[in-house]
Copies of this chain bind each other. A is one copy, B any other.
Amino acid sequence: MCQLLGMNSLKPARLSFSLEGFLRRGGETGEHADGWGIALYEEQRCHLLIDEQPSCQSPLAQWIQQYSRRSRNIIAHIRKATQGVVSATNCHPFLRHLWGQEWAFAHNGNLDLAALPRPQNFQPCGQTDSELAFCLLLDGLHARFGSQIPDVAEIHACLSELSQKISAAGNFNFVLSNGQWLFAHRSTDLHYLVRAYPFGRAQLLDCALGIDFARHNESDDRMVIIATQPLTDEAWLALPQGEVVTFAEGLQLRFDSY
């Protein structure tokens, strides 16, 4: 199985600390050594970086830690191949364009390919169940709203329906973003954490690295972090099972109809 990481922040931010622990799971403290990738949004443009090397020894990871720009939305993924060969084509995140927006997606879980329909307008490039499921999500959004850009409540409702259908084919833990909102769906494992004032201290679980967020944040900073398994000794919560949860500006959005 793979591991997911997502971030949605009020202000552009680096994810250095959490990423440090996460990337060690790719071959060092975890067995997810079949490649990794990261989608970093800068404004609405998505920088998508992928590498088949284990993330714990990837020069790309070092470069991102040192030089990448601050971002409001980040999706990262470390892979343990279950479907599809180990190749760049099958590395998450995947990227597609809808409504003049760049959408990035990463998945953890196994889906039965035979139980999934074929998408109409969005075609996978590789062989994974994950990319197919991503195409089905965008296909469903496009079929529902056409070229008319819906509001976030409508997208949330549509993604909830689509995710329920796709989940019938297996485990469907995912993080999805268009550079503005971060959507997450948990079938089995997916946790989240809001870092906001008053900031405390945290210790990574994968290495002896601690941080005092109060020293590195301003009082109005706020971000949500999503991860398959908790990355720190902070108070992570499991996301509700079988639901799409939507985040904007570091906060969960609540919709009346849900």
Q: Is A11 an interface residue (CB 8 A)?
A: no
**Interface residues of A: mostly helix, strand, loop or mixed?**
mixed
| Contact residues in B for A45 (Cβ distance below 8 Å) | 50, 87-89, 91, 125-126
| Contact residues in B for A42 (Cβ distance below 8 Å) | 88
Cα distance, A121 to B121, chains bound together (Å): 9
Cα distance, A45 to B126, chains bound together (Å): 9
Count of chain A residues near B, Cβ 8 A: 31
* A100 contacts B88, C-beta separation under 8 Å: no
| Contact residues in B for A125 (Cβ distance below 8 Å) | 44-45, 97, 100-102
Of B44, B47, B88, B95, which one neighbours A50 at CB under 8 angstroms?
B47
Nearest residue, chain B, Cβ from A69: B88
* B87 contacts A43, C-beta separation under 8 Å: yes
Q: Which has the most chain B C-beta neighbours within 10 Å: A45, A50, A101?
A: A45
Residue pairs across A and B with Cβ atoms less than 8 A apart, 30 shown, are A42-B88, A43-B87, A43-B88, A43-B89, A44-B89, A44-B125, A45-B87, A45-B88, A45-B89, A45-B91, A45-B126, A48-B48, A49-B49, A59-B63, A59-B66, A59-B67, A60-B63, A60-B67, A63-B63, A63-B67, A96-B97, A97-B97, A97-B122, A97-B123, A97-B125, A100-B125, A101-B125, A102-B125, A121-B121, A123-B147
Give 20 new A-B contacts, CB below 8 A, not counting A45-B50, A97-B125. Answer: A43-B89, A45-B87, A45-B89, A45-B91, A45-B125, A47-B49, A49-B49, A59-B63, A60-B63, A60-B67, A63-B63, A95-B95, A96-B97, A97-B97, A97-B123, A99-B123, A100-B124, A100-B125, A102-B125, A121-B121
